[in-house]
């Protein structure tokens, strides 16, 4: 990064949004980089000029979003660089996912009625299916890049199913740990059947995913996807801890975000690339795209915890604060309101901590800075996937990174 670009970035990082109260500036004394920028770079993510990168990555016309954190408005009708037209990347991906949830339920061969009902509870077709959509689009994009064939292999489609099963099992277990009562607009498994049975239901989904993974018969793919399960566990352990030092705290947050959210997307993308193409460079492109989109997805999720209502999200807002978690908006706000440090260290456990922390975040530029950081990760995802040969699926993946930034639930 040139000195001019670095200075431009630091000025943008330190400038509070108009009307923000508190102590302006998120820079860190004694360093050429803001404290959180060093944390990002610790994940080996290059720095760049955001404005130039976004306008080159997304040639469609940009307007102000209706959301107050001002992300670019999504344009869901575009012509791909490959020359084909499509209306929606989700529709493009869904061609390969017809019967997705029915096929998953077939994997859950259970004779016990109650256990079957619990394990199938979230496979009702009402989820976003964001992960399997990315996986099948990546599979076709890699296949097209390698041999000009966009045909989907059965084993690649199986990876999409396995990814959704692992994700859902982690949700069931997370709800037990967090004592959550609602998800996707309905009661959680643990709320209906109790914690012990919910743990068993999550275990059963994981075991079914493992059996499906073994049937693929590729030891490299098995190794890639089992890493996801390890990362989920390690990410949850990271979430249970906290750091006193602000630099360590942000790096800790990003590492947790990768392990709990981005690892599944990154490694699933890598798995389908391995099945469709022998080129290690393509495997790395797929992995890096999934990693960066996954981190951006979670950053926006953390923003929505402060900017959306419960009905939109399908779960309570300010949930992270109530769980004692300091996410991106909180960590940025802490730079303008240092009194939040004490609340972070005690995990917002005193009466009034949650409400005060929420007000500090909304008075600061924490939401804007977190959104800006998500934009950086999305740009990096676009930069990686653009290395593949043009195809409708590759271009849909580019557009999906834009949708990640503008979603409201």
Please give the share of the chain, as a percent, with pLDDT higher than 90.
66
Residue 126 pLDDT class (50, 70, 90 cuts) = confident
CA dist., res. 260 & res. 266, Å (int): 11
> In the predicted model, is pLDDT for residue 12 greater than 50?
no
Q: How confident is the model over 359-381, as pLDDT tens digits? A: 999 999 999 999 999 999 999 99
CA 221 to chain centroid, in Å, comes to: 21
Q: What is the pLDDT of residues 275-317, one digit of tens each?
A: 999 999 999 999 999 999 999 999 999 999 999 875 565 555 7
Q: Could you tell me if residue 30 is inside a domain?
A: no
Task: Retrieve residue 17's tokens.
Answer: 């949004």
In a domain, 187, yes or no: yes
Q: Are 287 and 266 in contact (CB under 8 A)?
A: yes
CATH of the domain at 292: 1.10.600.10
Average pLDDT of the chain, as a whole number: 82
Tens of pLDDT, residue by residue over 316-368, are 578 899 999 999 999 999 999 999 999 999 999 999 999 999 999 999 999 99
The answer to whether position 25 is within a domain reads: no
pTM to 2 decimals?
Answer: 0.81
Contacts for 380 with CB less than 8 Å, ≥ 6 apart: 45, 46, 48, 288, 292
Which residues form the domain of 388? 64-406
pLDDT at 54: 36
Region of 103 (left: φ > 0; alpha: ψ -120 to 50; beta: rest) is alpha
Q: Would you state the pLDDT for residue 409?
A: 78
Q: What is the pLDDT of residue 167?
A: 97
Residue 46: CB partners within 8 Å, gap ≥ 6?
Answer: 1, 380
Q: Residue 178: CB partners within 8 Å, gap ≥ 6?
A: 319, 323
User: What dihedral angle (degrees, nearest 10) is formed by the CA atoms of 347, 334, 358, 67?
Assistant: -130
**% residues pLDDT > 70 (the chain):** 76
Contacts of 42 (CB under 8 A, 6+ apart): 251, 254
* CA dist., res. 254 & res. 233, Å (int): 15
Does 268 fall in a domain?
Answer: yes
In this structure, is residue 159 part of a structural domain? yes
More confident residue, 148 or 264: 264
Tally the domains of the chain: 1
């Amino acid at each position: 990064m040139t000195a001019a670009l670095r200075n431009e970035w630091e000025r943008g990082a330190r400038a509070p949004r108009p009307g923000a109260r508190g102590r302006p500036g998120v820079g860190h004394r004694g360093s050429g980089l803001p404290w959180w920028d060093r944390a990002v770079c610790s994940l080996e993510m290059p720095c760049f000029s955001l404005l130039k990168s976004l306008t080159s990555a997304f040639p469609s016309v940009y307007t102000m979003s209706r959301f107050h954190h001002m992300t670019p408005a999504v344009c869901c009708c575009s012509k791909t660089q490959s020359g084909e037209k499509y209306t929606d990347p989700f529709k493009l991906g869904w061609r390969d996912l017809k019967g997705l949830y029915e096929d998953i339920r077939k994997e859950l061969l259970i004779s016990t009625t109650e256990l079957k009902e619990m394990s199938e509870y979230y496979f009702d077709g009402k989820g976003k299916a964001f992960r399997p959509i990315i996986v099948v689009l990546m599979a076709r994009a890699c296949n097209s890049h390698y041999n000009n064939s966009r045909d989907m292999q059965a084993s690649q489609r199986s990876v999409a199913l396995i990814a959704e099963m692992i994700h859902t099992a982690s949700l069931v277990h997370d709800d037990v740990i967090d004592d959550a009562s609602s998800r996707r607009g309905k009661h959680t498994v643990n709320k209906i059947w109790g914690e012990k049975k919910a743990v068993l239901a999550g275990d059963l989904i994981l075991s079914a995913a493992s059996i499906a993974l073994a049937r693929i018969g590729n030891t490299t793919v098995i190794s890639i996807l089992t890493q996801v399960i390890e990362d989920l566990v390690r990410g949850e352990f990271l979430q249970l801890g906290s750091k006193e030092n602000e630099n360590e705290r942000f790096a800790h947050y990003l590492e947790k975000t990768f392990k709990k959210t981005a690892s599944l997307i990154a490694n699933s993308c890598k798995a389908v690339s391995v099945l469709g193409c022998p080129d290690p460079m393509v495997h790395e492109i797929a992995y890096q795209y999934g990693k960066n989109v996954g981190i951006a997805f979670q950053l926006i999720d953390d923003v929505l915890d402060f900017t959306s209502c419960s009905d939109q999200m399908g779960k309570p807002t300010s949930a992270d604060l109530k769980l004692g978690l300091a996410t991106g908006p909180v960590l940025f706000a802490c730079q303008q309101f240092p009194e939040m440090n004490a609340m972070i260290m005690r995990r917002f456990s005193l009466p009034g901590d949650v409400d005060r922390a929420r007000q500090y975040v909304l008075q600061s530029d924490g939401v804007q800075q977190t959104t800006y950081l998500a934009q950086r990760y999305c740009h990096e995802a676009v930069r990686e996937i653009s290395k593949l040969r043009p195809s409708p699926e590759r271009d849909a993946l580019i557009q999906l990174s834009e949708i990640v930034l503008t979603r409201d639930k």
